[in-house]
Amino acid sequence: MVDQISDDLGDEIPVFVGILNGSFMFVSDFVKKYPKPCEVTFIKLASYEGVKSTEDIQRLIGLTQDLSGREVVILEDIIDSGNTLVEVHRIFKNENVKSLKIATLFYKPEAYKKDFKLDYIGIKIPTKFIVGYGLDYDGLGRDLPEVYQLQTTQPMTNLVLFGPPGAGKGTQADFLKEKYNLVHISTGDVFRYNIKNETALGMLAKSFMDKGELVPDQVTIDMLNEEVEKNADANGFIFDGFPRTNAQAEALDKLLKDKDSQINAMVALEVDDEVLVGRLLKRGETSGRADDADESIIRNRIKQYYSKTAILKDYYSSQNKYFGVDGVGNIEEITVRLSAVIDNL
Ligand code: AMP
């Protein structure tokens, strides 16, 4: 933009007029790069009231020098609705300047409602609120050397509740979802629901589940995506039984990234194998689950966990997101241990 403006202005000494407050960093960097002599001045307009662009632009400091006959370039940090330009043109209407050009670092084409010509545009951006490099959010952030987009969605809390079959994930998830107002998604439960309702997904999953094998990744990932989409307004999720493979963990990261979010922690219930087998056989007496009734299938599920799923501990440990919790004890004690981890996130 500097090169283009200096070419266009030739050898006349221009006056660059920055619009305060937002443009101070831009003007400073701009004139440092300007290759020829120039003058710099500022006018101060207030267009933002807190965080909302208002129609009513106030002139706080107007022109303090005579600019008649001069080449003037307005330097704006950002033009969105264009309301500020109304006041700029009003200020210059009777100044008899030789030329008045408008240069803006950022421009929101979808928000622009005026007809004034914009002579120089740095970067076109979508209608999102940005902050930093002179631009503020309710007074703050002007000092930041980089530009950021304000996050508009509430940050979510997303937990992976982890542990071998029988560790008590479902039981604990019931408490945690109430306490932290999260949506609990148990992939095992969703599969069982589909089997009960004899859906295509259920029929497909059943053949794997009955043997204690994992359902293929793509089937599981598609189903999980759908469950998350059904709860688009959630404060966050407790993922129970998912992810169970690296591919699933990567798919989950991608899904959450698309929502400007992430997994905050994997909380893992650690329970000894023999305790698990005992618990699952006992559950099988009442749960009606075929995969809880047979000790060899139970042992296969635990084996699957260690051979395929336990590697996810490394996946989350490497991001400092793994928290092991002793899963042996009474239900309340374990809830307290899990809450201590979550409260510290
Ligand atoms: P669970 O209720 O979590 O013990 O899951 C019961 C069964 O559902 C597992 O043994 C698998 O066959 C299947 N399943 C549940 N979640 C997944 C997953 N994330 N990936 C593959 N299979 C799964």
Instruction: Return the pLDDT at 288.
Output: 87
How far, in whole angstroms, is CA 261 from its chain's centroid? 4
* Statement: the pTM of the whole predicted model exceeds 0.85: no
pLDDT at 52: 52
Tell whether ligand 1 has an atom less than 6 A from the beta carbon of residue 248.
yes
Atom of ligand 1 nearest to the CA of 244: 19
- Residue 97 confidence (pLDDT): 96
Q: At what angle do helices 295-304 and 273-287 cross, to 10 degrees?
A: 130
State which of 217, 244, 308 you would mutate to test the pocket of ligand 1, scoring each by most atoms of that ligand within 8 A of its C-beta: 244
Omega prior to 37 cis, within 30 of 0: no
301 lines ligand 1 (CB under 6 A): yes
244 CB within 6 A, ligand 1? yes
Ligand 1 centroid from CA 169, angstroms: 13
pLDDT of 263 over the 80 cut = yes
Write down the mean pLDDT value for the chain.
92
Catalytic residues, which ones?
169, 244, 283, 289, 301
Task: Report how far ligand 1's centroid is from the alpha carbon of 289 (Å).
Answer: 12
- Compute the C-alpha angle 168/174/177, nearest 5°: 125
- State the distance from the centre of ligand 1 to the C-alpha of 107, rounded, in angstroms: 50
pLDDT at 53: 53
From ligand 1's centre to the CA of 131, what distance in Å? 44
pLDDT at 310: 86
- Digit-coded pLDDT (tens) for 293-321: 999 999 999 999 998 888 999 999 999 99
**Assigned token pair, 311:** 């590697």
Q: What is the pLDDT of residue 236?
A: 96
CA separation, residue 291 to residues 75, 190, 287, 297, 302 (Å): 70, 15, 10, 6, 11
**Phi, psi of 287, rounded to the nearest 5 degrees:** -75, -25
Whether residue 214 has its Cβ less than 6 Å from ligand 1: yes
Q: What is the mean pLDDT of residues 186-212?
A: 93
Mean pLDDT of 157-166: 95
Kindly report, residue by residue over 58-101, the tens digit of the pLDDT. 667 888 889 999 999 999 999 999 988 998 999 999 899 999 99
Q: Name the CA dihedral angle for 221, 223, 226, 232, rounded to a multiple of 10 degrees.
A: -70
pLDDT at 151: 74
Evaluate if residue 55 carries a pLDDT over 70.
Answer: no
On the question of pLDDT at 30 being above 70, the answer is yes
What is d(CA 84, CA 295) in angstroms, rounded to the nearest whole number? Answer: 74
Pocket test for ligand 1, best of 169, 193, 215 (most atoms within 8 A of CB): 215
Write the secondary structure of the chain as one string of H (helix), E (strand) and C (coil). CHHHHHHHHCCCCCEEEEEECCCHHHHHHHHHHCCCCCEEEEEEEEEEECCEEEEEEEEEECCCCCCCCCEEEEEEEEECCCHHHHHHHHHHCCCCCCEEEEEEEEECCCCCCCCCCCCEEEEECCCCCEEECCECECCECCCCCCCEECCCCCCCEEEEEECCCCCCHHHHHHHHHHHHCCEEEEHHHHHHHHHHCCCHHHHHHHHHHCCCCCCCHHHHHHHHHHHHHHCCCCCEEEEECCCCCHHHHHHHHHHHHCCCCCCCEEEEEECCHHHHHHHHHHHHHHHCCHHHHCHHHHHHHHHHHHHHHCCHHHHHHCCCCEEEEECCCCHHHHHHHHHHHHHCC
Q: Alpha-carbon distance 225 to 239, whole Å?
A: 12
Does the C-beta of 164 come closer than 6 Å to ligand 1?
Answer: no
Distance 220 CA to ligand 1 centre (A): 9
Six-digit token string for 41: 């001045």
Ligand 1 atom closest to the CA of 211, numbered from 1? 12
What pLDDT is stored for residue 57 in this prediction?
Answer: 64
pLDDT of 332 over the 90 cut: yes
pLDDT for 46 = 74
Task: Kindly indicate the confidence band of residue 162, based on its pLDDT and cuts at 50, 70 and 90.
Answer: very high
Minimum mean pLDDT among 61-65, 125-129, 196-200, 309-313: which range?
61-65
